[in-house]
Structure 1
Amino acid sequence: MQRRTVGVVVNGVTGRMGYRQHLVRSLLAIREQGGLPTRDGHVIWPEPVLVGRNATRLGEIADRHGLTEWTTDLAAALARPDVEIYFDAQLTSLREKAIRQAIDAGKHIYTEKPLAEGTTAAKELAVAADAAGVRHGVVQDKLFLPGLRKLKRLIDGGFFGRILSVRGEFGYWVFEGDWQPAQRPSWNYRTGDGGGIVMDMFPHWNYVLEELFAPVRAVSATIATHLDARVDEQGETYRADADDAAYAVFELEGGIVAQLNSSWCVRVFRDELVEFQVDGTEGSAVAGLRRCRAQHRSVTPKPVWNPDLPATEKFREQWAEVPDNEEFDNGFKVQWEAFLRHVVEGAPFRWDFHSGARGVRLAELGLESARTGRRVEVPA
């Protein structure tokens, strides 16, 4: 089949997410499968142009994967007529300026979240992208994970009846970097570099809650910097002043209450690094990244509270596994394919800058709630 080549600037490819999930497991994976078929019998063929600040690392990545196009000059990359899409996986603090450059260059834009460091800037980017007539999208990968897709199937099928509440636990222990290397880059723990778990995770929680359940109408949050000293990539101790844990209650439209804990200072005692329990009048389910288990009201056991006797019921065994019923591809790759189709074929793509701006807004309101110690309403 004839190729429809789409040049894609990948900015921030030397970072963990930009390299692993977006370059290797998405764009290069699409090429490895022979491209992305279109309705008219062509295949979309993404052609990455790697951009970053470290020429040595860019060259190494390009050589490793047989790529030839890379540069440290973003302006030059955006000026190329064969480039149609700009993708941003940089530090959050660098993102707004680069996206504005891409808008001015007339490129379609796909970006990691958060879209910007503040709500005002995020909304301005959405308005500017609309005015320029470019297509735009924000990574919302959790929606495409097998566990949440199976949970969505239960919701759409009416399994829960009236949904009452959502309870979520996310996180793991991120090592301080002294006696074991940290699993996350040091900028995550510095406010000056755009770090903090609220700005990292609340945009995720906004689209998960909004798309699966209902829009958020109020938030009450408590945040903490549990570990105030960490060791960076050069072995230097630095002051970690960004929030590394957040404990929040989100009130959703229609009366659903969602409680979500996010922490990089928690040791995991659950099956997956993130799990959501949804309880409804007709049934409940627990969904993680890949698995989803459910319990209908007709088979719900009747435990009795008795602290004087050991529990004999094996509660986990009383839940049924929700079957896959389909093959699940990498969530990042699935959304990349949707955005490529959006650019080339005009296929619908609702995860745009406006959605991304709502996620930034929720993060800012969560920080406001933590700072003031009060419940904060989310504007409709």
Structure 2
Amino acid sequence: MRIVIVGAGQAAASMAARLRATGHEGPLTVIGREPAAPYQRPPLSKDYLMGRMGLDRLTLRAPDWWRDQSIALHLSETALSIDPDARILTTDRGTHPYDALALTTGAAPRRLAAAMGGDLPGTHVIRTLADVDALAPDMREGHRLIVIGGGYIGLEAAAVARKLGLEVTLVEAAPRILGRVAPPQTAELIRALHLAQGVTLLEGRGISQITGTDRADGVALSDGTHLPADLVIMGIGVLPETALAATAGLALDNGIATDGQGRTSDPAIWAAGDCASIPYQGGRLRLESVGGAIDMADCVADNMLGAGRDHVPKAWFWSDQFDAKLQIAGLSTGHDQVVTRPGPEGHGDHAGSVWCFRQGRLIAVDALNDARAYMIGKRLIEAGRSPDPALIPTIPDLKTLLS
């Protein structure tokens, strides 16, 4: 069986390794449009940007590994279209016949429209190695940075910039940071952390224009305020990469729609990672996380070889900001009760955990500088167990919740 994987990120690398480890001996090809071999993305906006991690440590597999595994790795090659009837993938370099095709095309960062200055020099997004290499020269001490967007990418960029000595203002159009992805209690912990480190947070303030002629020189807010800047980072979310899937006429629904096993509307085509949306609790879910990409890629690899098992998403995330670590287990969407617990001593006000319930069931735990709360919450969620919310703030030892 000829298997072709399009996209050369974390999901692709995991899928290729799993296929070989579980017995696929046929032709296996991985096609990526970036010039670099599959690498880790999370450190890009942190250790790599700060110069503490080189490309050699970002790379997921050594060059020899691809050769030893007899995997054809095609870099700097762009997939253009799929002919599902002939089962042929066409790229800018030729054609690739397949018996099974996996789409791990990921997601692309959103930019403000060109009419709003989103393509001016000095404006940046953070997603790829090339994005961060372009950004790094502008991240100089004393420069004025405006970050647009108060999600995790924007907040992480703001934290790194402050550590590098930039003056940072973060602008969020919604009433608060992390409005789509975290409860207000978690947002308050992160807000306090950033304010303590000198980040200026402007919430509930829309953007009307990135200003400048030959280069971005500031941001005009919707209330008429103008904020001068030397560079602008847009952290306003991502969109799943579905253009290639559309050429095959695949069903799309907030990404490439798959069944529970990762199969698309074409039985010979599969999808995994940030580009894929899967059935979940009567609706559809698209997880933007490294853990989610790996888990789904492994499941799809197994199913391509006939395992026939449904993918059970395990939602867990993390975000490093300044010297703090936020760890998240579960999905807080739809919570109707929140309880908080102080964190361990030694972190001042920048520690604690936020426990989210829906109809009495524990669905998520956000833990800032509190690894113990995260691990216990994660185990409870995975086991389908829900403690009495009233116990969480004051119980002496969280571990007793597991007994």
If the length of structure 1 is used for normalisation, what is the TM-score?
0.33
If the length of structure 2 is used for normalisation, what is the TM-score?
0.32
Q: Using CA pairs below 8 Å that are at least 6 residues apart, which structure has the higher relative contact order? A: 1
Of Structure 1 and Structure 2, the greater helix share is in: 1
